[in-house]
């Protein structure tokens, strides 16, 4: 019931004192009887998540994807997760890449020769799959290097990768402290999006990347003054558009965030790895909701490392330390004002 909506008029009823006293006595007796024999306490269990506009909570979708699932996804240490351009879900898992459908059924397992500890993966609109593992190479599925003369350079250490609708390949380079992009069509093109620094529009140990349909670039980083940033295309360059997140364990703070995702409405999701949780923000960077804490039970994470969100706003979370992939779906029932 909304207290600000006027209610139908009810005629007042006059009670005699004796009747009122009897009613109160009966009420007290009932309460004493109801509480007799046990201590009545306030509930201690909390729902998953915090309030936000149009949100009540994120609801865990059961069962999780792991070795106990009917389709038996025996993950070792899932690190990254992406929604492919072909509609499938791709998960990097130590020595291999899993291809699953939306129900979690395994379609294929890719084992890239001589590639261990895959950190991030991406699929382009041409359905080609790429992987990086923190060294100076970008790997194709057959284990060969992508454009080694241009990409495989000294001191590079690629820790994040994404591909946009125009087949630009975006790379987070934690070795040279840069955000780069390449396009290999009829001609080769290369751009530097951001370089080392501590403020907005600069990078310091960049990690996961995501790109929206407008070409905006989102990335999470472990260093710098702002752990989450959005870069906006501006002519032939990129400008800082949104940046937030100091180091810490309070709301809107992060500890070693590893990945970021953006949904079709522009909301930003961050894997707060060191704090074992997920945080969601408005397109302008206003805090929205958080859920999860450290542990192995339901609605808990252990060093989560990757996140993706599909067109139905279902979240897919690579819960690395628990050897599983979790899914969460938004429940929307009430509307509470949000931070702009």
SS3 26: helix
Residue 167, token pair as written in the block? 């087949």
Least Cα distance to 208 among 255, 257, 242, 246 occurs for 257
Give the neighbor-by-neighbor strand order of the sheet with 78-83.
78-83, 89-93, 96-100, 106-111
Q: Would you give the DSSP letter of residue 212?
A: -
**What DSSP string runs through 259-316?**
EEEE-TT--EEEEEGGGTEEEEE-TTS-EEEEE--BSSSTT-BSS--EEEE-TT--EE
Residue pair 163/184 in contact (Cβ under 8 Å)? The answer is no
**What is the C-alpha to C-alpha distance for residues 108 and 26, in angstroms, rounded to an integer?**
68
Exposure on the CB side of residue 88, measured as CA atoms within 13 A: 20
Strands 246-247 and 178-184: unpaired
Residue 283, token pair as written in the block? 């397109």
Residue-level length of the chain? 340
Residue pair 132/138 in contact (Cβ under 8 Å)? The answer is yes
Residue 96, token pair as written in the block? 């291999």
**What is the C-alpha to C-alpha distance for residues 74 and 325, in angstroms, rounded to an integer?**
10
Residue pair 240/233 in contact (Cβ under 8 Å)? The answer is no
Strand partners, 163: 169
pLDDT at 56: 54
SS3 190: strand
Residue pair 41/35 in contact (Cβ under 8 Å)? The answer is no
Cα-flanking dihedrals φ and ψ of residue 151, to 5°? Answer: -95, -40
The secondary structure element, H or E, covering residue 230 is strand 228-234
Exposure on the CB side of residue 45, measured as CA atoms within 13 A: 3
pLDDT in tens, the chain (340 residues): 333 333 333 333 333 344 434 444 444 444 444 444 333 333 233 334 333 344 558 899 999 999 888 887 899 999 999 999 999 999 999 889 999 999 999 999 999 877 888 999 999 999 999 999 999 999 999 889 999 999 999 999 999 999 999 999 999 999 999 999 999 988 899 999 999 999 999 999 999 999 999 999 999 999 999 999 999 999 889 999 999 999 999 999 999 999 999 999 999 999 999 999 999 999 999 999 999 999 999 889 999 999 999 999 999 999 999 999 999 998 764 443 444 4
Cβ burial of 75 (10 Å; 0-12, 13-18, 19+) is buried
Strands 324-331 and 315-319: antiparallel
Least Cα distance to 129 among 165, 155, 90, 181 occurs for 90
Residue pair 78/93 in contact (Cβ under 8 Å)? The answer is yes
Rounded-to-10 torsion of CA 112, 118, 124, 128: 0
Residue 220, token pair as written in the block? 């999470």
Please state the pTM of the whole predicted model.
Answer: 0.82
């Amino acid at each position: 019931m909304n207290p600000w909506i006027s209610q139908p008029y009810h005629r007042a009823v006059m009670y005699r004192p004796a009747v009122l006293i009897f009613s109160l006595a009966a009420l007290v007796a009932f309460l004493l009887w109801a509480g007799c024999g046990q201590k009545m306490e306030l509930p201690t269990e909390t729902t998953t998540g915090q309030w936000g506009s149009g949100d009540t909570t994120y609801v865990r979708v059961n069962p999780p994807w792991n070795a106990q699932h009917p389709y038996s996804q025996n993950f070792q240490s899932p690190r990254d997760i992406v929604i492919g351009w072909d509609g499938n879900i791709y998960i990097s898992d130590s020595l291999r890449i899993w291809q699953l459908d939306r129900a979690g059924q395994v379609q294929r397992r890719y084992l890239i020769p001589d590639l261990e500890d895959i950190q991030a993966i991406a699929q382009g609109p041409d359905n080609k799959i790429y992987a990086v593992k923190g060294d100076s190479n970008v790997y194709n599925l057959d284990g060969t290097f992508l454009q080694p003369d241009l990409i495989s350079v000294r001191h590079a250490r690629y820790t994040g990768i994404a591909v946009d609708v125009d087949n630009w390949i975006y790379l987070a380079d934690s070795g040279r402290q840069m955000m780069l992009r390449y396009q290999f069509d009829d001609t080769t093109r290369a751009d530097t999006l951001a370089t080392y620094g501590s403020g907005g529009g600069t990078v310091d140990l960049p990690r996961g990347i995501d790109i929206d349909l407008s070409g905006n670039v989102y990335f999470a980083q472990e260093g710098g003054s702002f752990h989450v940033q959005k870069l906006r295309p501006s002519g032939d360059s990129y400008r800082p558009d949104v940046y937030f997140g100091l180091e810490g364990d309070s709301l809107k703070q992060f500890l070693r965030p590893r990945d970021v995702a953006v949904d079709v409405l522009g909301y930003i999701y961050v894997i707060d790895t060191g704090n074992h949780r997920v945080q969601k923000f408005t397109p302008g960077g206003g805090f929205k909701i958080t859920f999860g804490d450290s542990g192995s039970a339901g609605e808990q994470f252990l060093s989560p490392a990757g996140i993706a969100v599909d067109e139905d706003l279902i979240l897919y979370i690579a819960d690395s330390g628990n050897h599983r992939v979790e899914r969460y779906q938004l429940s929307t029932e009430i509307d509470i004002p949000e931070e702009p």
